[in-house]
Structure 1
């Protein structure tokens, strides 16, 4: 199988596409080629002329996958010029019927149909690990977003409470590009807390942390990290922050809490235990199986 990935340069979007491509490769031998999304004008021209520059040396694709609005026109132009089936991840800016298959997170609010699969959160590359250490925990700090009202002081208080109540766990904490610049300077040192700013983490650092952490705490604005932690098989806690009542991400986090997939901080304080993650998410594998079954019906 030949798979083309159309990328817009955003790590989060590429993470989704690669997660699906790797899952497809676990079901059927696959060669994966990565192509940058073209500008709107160049993609339109390629679509009109049925010709794309720079792909002559590549084998004809069976699947062309893209995530992010900037990939959509290139995705359609590549299919028109080179064949294959177009698979779009996340709700597209163009009509869904223009794509062969759509894989959309549930918070996009679109119903499943014969050409649309709805997933628990965005896809990722994380797989369940048997090396998780119950004495190692991970704390993931996001930052300002439109989905929750960020409060550094409240998060600091919750971190201190977690440290005080978990004497048998050594914690590693990292930040994100959205974390306020003064957040780490406000955080007092602790003998069981190792702080690694996001600027000091190499590409494989976070997957390795997921693989070895028995427990993960995440700020609710970092929804993709919540789903990655659930995919790794860790027990997952989510810090409390005021939610924007119109936020789809806020709704998704509430749904996970109601289903006992995650534990909110206030609930953890009351019961002093996290909901066990007995069924790790494997959404990329589920999507890959769905695609392969769809392809079998077409050929």
Structure 2
């Protein structure tokens, strides 16, 4: 007899990055078995507490089939996860380190750069989960340049980035490159961007992309260069299976993000620009970086096997 679909409620705080993480896990679960899923907005703190403590359940929760699994990424989803589990059942899975005690959740998927404790309900991940899948159609003459911008942990210098981009373009005379920006990229960055010989550099600003654009590009790019501030794109490129280089940007101070990148360099997953200038070698991943699939497999085998 076929098993019925796994019923999943996914709570969202409306932030694209958080939805990318929970969506990646949801899609990985679907690759393992049929899934019936429902997307729900995270309730306000007052509403979630009323549901958790007093049973005042939002009407939409009462109308849906009881969940087997509840997923949420982002602090605003935490109380909704716990309240829905208490009132409707299911296992509560939180992505990223929660502000609430870890023991409240059935499973916490926490990136290693957040130094998660060793506990039975904690699964350490290499970076945040994402929707990217390992590619089988990488093209040796296609490359991708992913440009971020200044952030809490990193400064920015357009000229330094231009120089690194120019060096990469000159080193690969036959490769065709596509460059895209992010919401943090300075407004004047594209104005001073070097022109590649033979039209080998295409520029697609972030404003001209949608959520499907980057996965489609990563499915084919053999080489990917990412500015060090754009850690989520680093993990997405690694998941696709590309050889990944890191453009240097000014580091304000050592932090959990930079230390996480340093570990990936030490483990041979990434090549910093300075090392590439010395060796002219960009390291290809030697193994699989499919973290969403690994987490989904754990969930299925532990709870629904």
**What is the TM-score when the length of structure 1 is the normalising length?**
0.96
Partner of 1:107: 113
Match of 1:252 in 2: 260
Task: Identify unmatched segments of 5+ residues in structure 1.
Answer: none
Q: For the Cα contact (< 8 Å) 1:24–1:285, is it kept in 2?
A: yes
1:284 correspondence with 2:299? no
Q: What is residue 97 of structure 1 aligned with on the other side?
A: 103
Contact 2:61–2:84 under 8 Å retained in 1: no
Aligned partners of 1:293, 1:139: CA distance in 2, in Å?
A: 38
Q: Where in structure 2 are there 5+ consecutive unaligned residues?
A: 1-5
- Could you tell me which residue of structure 1 aligns to residue 14 of structure 2? 9
Offset, 1:17: 0.4
Provide, for residues 171-214 of structure 1, a one-character-per-residue CA deviation record: whole Å limited to 9, x for no partner: 00000000001000111322110000000012211000000100
Q: Is the 8 A contact 1:244 1:250 kept in 2?
A: no
Do the aligned residues in 1 keep the contact of 2:162 with 2:194 (CA within 8 Å)?
Answer: no
Query: Match of 2:192?
Result: 186
Q: Which position in structure 1 is the counterpart of 2:203? A: 195
From 234, 243, 260, the equivalent of 1:226 is 234
Q: 1:267 aligns with which of 267, 275, 278?
A: 275
Aligned with 2:85 (options 79, 86, 89): 79
Equivalents in 2 of 1:53, 1:144: separation in Å?
A: 43
The answer to whether the aligner puts 1:242 opposite 2:233 as a matched pair is: no
Deviation string 1:26-82 (CA, Å, 9 cap, x unpaired) is 222111110000111111111122222212331110000000011111111111111
Instruction: Please give the alpha-carbon distance, in whole angstroms, between the structure 1 residues aligned to 2:105 and 2:254.
Output: 29
TM-score when normalising by structure 2:
0.95
Q: For residue 92 of structure 2, give the secondary structure of its aligned residue in structure 1.
A: strand
1: CA distance, partners of 2:298 / 2:183: 34
1:37 is aligned to 2:42: yes
Aligned length: 297
Q: Which of residues 130, 133, 157 is equivalent to 1:127?
A: 133
Kindly indicate whether the alpha-carbon contact (under 8 Å) linking 2:127 and 2:235 is maintained by their aligned counterparts in 1.
yes
Q: 1:26 aligns with which of 24, 31, 35?
A: 31
Q: Secondary structure at the match of 1:54?
A: helix
1:296, distance to aligned residue in structure 2 (A): 4.8
Cα distance in 1 for partners of 2:36, 2:60 equals: 17
Could you tell me which residue of structure 2 aligns to residue 153 of structure 1? 159
SS in 2 for 1:202: coil
- 2:128 is paired with a residue of what secondary structure? coil
* Cα RMSD, aligned residues only: 1.2
Alpha-carbon distance in 2 for matches of 1:112, 1:122 = 18
1:138 maps to which of 129, 134, 144? 144
Aligned to 2:3: none
Q: Distance in 2 between matches of 1:33 and 1:213?
A: 33
